[in-house]
Amino acid sequence: MKPNNEDLSYIINHLGEDHASYFNAIAPPIVQTSNFRFETVEDMRTAFKDEMSSYIYSRGVNPTVDMLRKKLAALDSAEDALVFNSGAAAVFAGVLANVQSGDHILSVHHPYSWTVHTFDQILKRFGVTVTYADGTDTDKFLSHVQSNTKLIFLESPNSWFLDIQDLEAIGSFAKKKGIVTMIDNTYCTPLYQRPYELCIDLVMQTATKYIGGHSDTLGGVLTGSKQMMEKIFKSEYLAIGSGIQPMNAWLLLRGLRTLPARLDRIDHSTKKVLAFLKEQHKVERIIFPHDPSFPQYELAKKQMKKAFGLISFYIKVQKLEEIEQFCNGMKTFRMAVSWGGHESLIIPKCAGMERAAFNPQEPVHRLIRLYIGLEDADFLIQDLADGFNGIGSL
Ligand SMILES: *Cc1c(COP(=O)(O)O)cnc(C)c1O
């Protein structure tokens, strides 16, 4: 099933909701319980035979989480989903389930920082090797596949440089070779990029960002085939116990109700802010996948229905203090990590480095990332305008 807009409304507002079973309440219940009782030994026996669809114990399946699980699987057109307590937990489980000692992983360079930690610090201890390669050139990227490569890890776009990969080309190559492909699809959400339909086996997204949408909960999602989800459920999901808690699942269900409306507004505001940035002489270069200046513009147009929310740009200054003044002075944009919430954010790359290491000749040191939230676009633009006007007064 390829959800069109009607399907999207059905999935978000109706799928998996059985009001009669909870007093006809419109809002789903938060089933805050660790365990579930059985009438008979035979009932219990039957449940034990199918733990993935039975209410036994909430480390496994819980009704509130299950409602979310059904909706998220449908949004990706996948057979099933698993919902985790964070995006990092979802990455960890999805990767761990698909490798063993002696295996090799080919990953795009610069994936999310804790994905790198999982690869370099944890898996390394168990004899799993990782090669990072630029995913913007498909042939070059795939030339790093080895005879023991079991997993190709993608993140498209990634969160600072917004690099993308040709999902269909990589997915179909891997399928022929029997290599599992996994993607971090947090940027686009299932609304605007559907990797499972482009031959990718395992789709991860951080629900902390757009699904939650209010910066009040963490969550992570994996979707894929029934077989893949069962494999992960029966090992990593149950053994690590990193499934999402009912209250947080409920917050994500609530976030989902307004996801299309929020993304529409963010998309609209992003375009306005982008147009403003393009006219600023203190902006050296903008990184935005659906802008014609983006090196992979054609591919971005082909595989991502929309680009929105995150804009990175190189600010044209000589001094670190100028970047600090620009960021410190923001009144509407808040300086914080993460994104996807109601609030607009700013983060400069130089916050992650020692002051003495700053070199204006290195463009990356002057990189700033904006996240466009739900405030009025003109309000955001005024904040940026004040910031640009202040540069040079030092
Ligand atoms: C935030 C983020 C994660 C991690 O998600 P958490 O919910 O914070 O664990 C992973 N990938 C991307 C692209 C992210 O932006």
Q: What is the pLDDT of residues 354-392, one digit of tens each?
A: 999 999 999 999 999 999 999 999 999 999 999 999 987
The residue whose CA has the least distance to atom 5 of ligand 1 is 87
What is the pTM assigned to this prediction? 0.96
For residue 3, what pLDDT is reported? 54
For residue 208, what pLDDT is reported? 98
For residue 159, what pLDDT is reported? 87
Output b/e per residue, 282-298; b: 16+ Cβ within 10 A.
bbeebbbbbbeebebbe
Q: Is 136 in the pocket of ligand 1 (CB under 6 A)?
A: no
Q: How far is the CA of 283 from the centre of ligand 1 (A)?
A: 27
The residue whose CA has the least distance to atom 12 of ligand 1 is 112
Sheet holding 283-287, edge to edge: 283-287, 310-315, 367-371, 345-348, 334-335
- Nearest alpha carbon to residue 187 among 309, 86, 94: 309
In Å, how far from its chain's centre is CA 90?
Answer: 10
Q: Is 186 in the pocket of ligand 1 (CB under 6 A)?
A: yes
- Report phi then psi at 225, rounded to 5: -70, 160
Other beta carbons less than 10 A from residue 148's beta carbon? 12
Alpha carbons 375 and 373: distance in angstroms, whole number? 6
- Nearest alpha carbon to residue 384 among 288, 320, 313: 313
Q: How far is the CA of 206 from the centre of ligand 1 (A)?
A: 5
Q: How far is the CA of 185 from the centre of ligand 1 (A)?
A: 10
The residue whose CA has the least distance to atom 8 of ligand 1 is 87
| pLDDT, averaged in runs of 10, over the chain (394 residues) | 70 96 97 98 97 97 98 96 98 98 97 97 97 98 98 96 97 98 97 96 98 98 98 96 97 98 98 98 97 97 97 97 96 97 98 96 98 98 96 75
Q: Is 206 in the pocket of ligand 1 (CB under 6 A)?
A: yes
Alpha carbons 252 and 211: distance in angstroms, whole number? 6
The residue whose CA has the least distance to atom 11 of ligand 1 is 112
Q: Is 118 in the pocket of ligand 1 (CB under 6 A)?
A: no
Q: Is 217 in the pocket of ligand 1 (CB under 6 A)?
A: no
Fold of 5-257: Aspartate Aminotransferase; domain 2 (3.40.640)
Q: Is 183 in the pocket of ligand 1 (CB under 6 A)?
A: no
Tell me the residue type at 69.
R
For residue 254, what pLDDT is reported? 98
Cβ proximity of 95 and 155 under 8 Å: no
Output b/e per residue, 105-138; b: 16+ Cβ within 10 A.
bbbbbbbbeebeebbeeebeeeebbbebbebbeb
Give the β-pairing of 180-184 and 202-206: parallel
Specify whether domain 259-390 bears CATH 3.90.1150.10. yes
Mutating to test ligand 1, I would choose from 186, 215, 221, 245 the residue with most ligand atoms within 8 A of its C-beta, which is 186
Domain residue limits, the chain: 5-257, 259-390
Cβ proximity of 208 and 90 under 8 Å: no
